[in-house]
Chain A
Amino acid sequence: MTGSLRLAALREAGVEFVAGVPCSYLKAFFAGCEKLPASAFLPAVREDHAVAACVGAWLGGRRAAAAMQNSGLGYCLEVLTSLHLLYRIPLPLLVSDRGAPADFEEHRILGQRTRGLLDLFGIPWREAKPGKHVAEARWLVETSDAAGSPAVLLVGKGADV
């Protein structure tokens, strides 16, 4: 219905609200989000506002997820640490995995440190694999629920989106 395998899988896993800032790797995901009802998708101006809005939606009783480029994780750290991790609020997070050797150089520095950054804050993560969108969406929802924290799926170039 949405044209995005990962969005369909997240919806199937119970996600009712999505906020985020686009990345070209996640183009199909965001195209799918635009077909959702207006109250179910917030295209945000920056990633920290997206994840903060997810806190509001979660307080409102909805299961909320966010999507962004890994460069946006830096903007999010204050919110993820002083809202999600502090108040123990779950958040499935779809993050594009920029910074591979063939990627543009502006993605290199944060890209090489994305996994280390998540490990530093104790945020569970895994890498998206082709054909695994249903199991991975379920992993995101169940892991973030159980941990009361964000959980991250890193989506590389060319992965099913």
Chain B
Amino acid sequence: MTRAEAVALALSLLADEDIVVAADGAISREAYRAADRARTFYMLGSMGQVASIALGLAMTRLERVVALDGDGNLLMGFGGLALVGGVKPANLYHLVLDNGCYATTGGQPAVSRKVDLAAAAVGAGYAWGRRSFSDDHARSALGSWLAAPGPAFLDLVVSAEDPDPAPRIPMTPEEIAARVRGAVARW
């Protein structure tokens, strides 16, 4: 399964009111292409901060907050994992699209190939954490993750291939932020 397919599948399983934080780079572009929604915050930079932004949302909102993270991204801000585990927001759902490398910059290997991210999340205090390797089980793994007690963490291993790169998001950063804030306030 490609990362883009996994992003699309995860988004298809969410409720309309869920708030999404999509990691900077390919994951945001793929989320926009698969299912643009007013309640998705598309990051353009700040690699490493997906979980921390999601935590700020989860602490202030009652809806489910879904973080669509990358493995290299998570590793860059690994302290964010401890922060979520320590605060334990029950409405935070953290998904890592794990291709084991820095795909955007040429596929350089990441240490996620040797580090058990789900065990780290559980060690940090997440209520639930799993790693899923198999394409055949991706849908059921995502279903189990979304049905688990939060904060819940799923490390979904995906292909490092990127056969159909998604284009940039045709919105200004200001439009992206104002749209999310407005949509959240209206709920």
Q: Which residues of A contact B (CB under 8 A)?
A: 17, 19, 39, 42, 44-46, 48-50, 52-62, 64, 78-79, 81-83, 86-89, 148
**Which of B40-48, B103-111, B127-135, B151-159 is the interface stretch?**
B40-48
* A40 and chain B: residue at smallest CB distance: B59
- Chain B contacts for A45, CB-based, 8 A: 79-80, 82-83
- Chain A contacts for B55, CB-based, 8 A: 42, 53, 56
Q: List 18 A-B contacts (CB under 8 A).
A: A42-B87, A44-B83, A50-B52, A52-B80, A56-B53, A56-B54, A56-B59, A57-B60, A58-B56, A59-B41, A59-B56, A59-B177, A61-B185, A62-B60, A79-B46, A79-B49, A87-B176, A88-B177
Q: A126 CA to B52 CA in the complex, in Å?
A: 28
- Chain A contacts for B181, CB-based, 8 A: 58-59, 61
User: Quick check: A82 and B54 within 8 Å, CB to CB?
Assistant: no
Q: Is B121 an interface residue (CB 8 A)?
A: no
Which 4 A-B residue pairs are closest in the complex by CB-CB distance? Answer: A56-B56, A82-B45, A60-B60, A53-B56
* B57 and chain A: residue at smallest CB distance: A56
- B43 CB to closest chain A CB (Å) equals 8
Q: Is B61 an interface residue (CB 8 A)?
A: yes
Q: A39 CA to B61 CA in the complex, in Å?
A: 9
Contact A87 to B174, CB < 8 A, known contacts A53-B56, A55-B56, A56-B57: yes
* Residues 38 to 80 of chain B near chain A (Cβ within 8 Å): 41, 43-49, 52-61, 65, 77, 79-80
Q: A58 CA to B59 CA in the complex, in Å?
A: 11
User: Quick check: B45 and A78 within 8 Å, CB to CB?
Assistant: yes
User: Quick check: B56 and A54 within 8 Å, CB to CB?
Assistant: yes
- Chain B contacts for A46, CB-based, 8 A: 79
User: Quick check: B52 and A49 within 8 Å, CB to CB?
Assistant: yes
Q: Is B119 an interface residue (CB 8 A)?
A: no
User: Quick check: A60 and B44 within 8 Å, CB to CB?
Assistant: no
Q: Is B120 an interface residue (CB 8 A)?
A: no
- Chain B contacts for A57, CB-based, 8 A: 56-57, 59-60
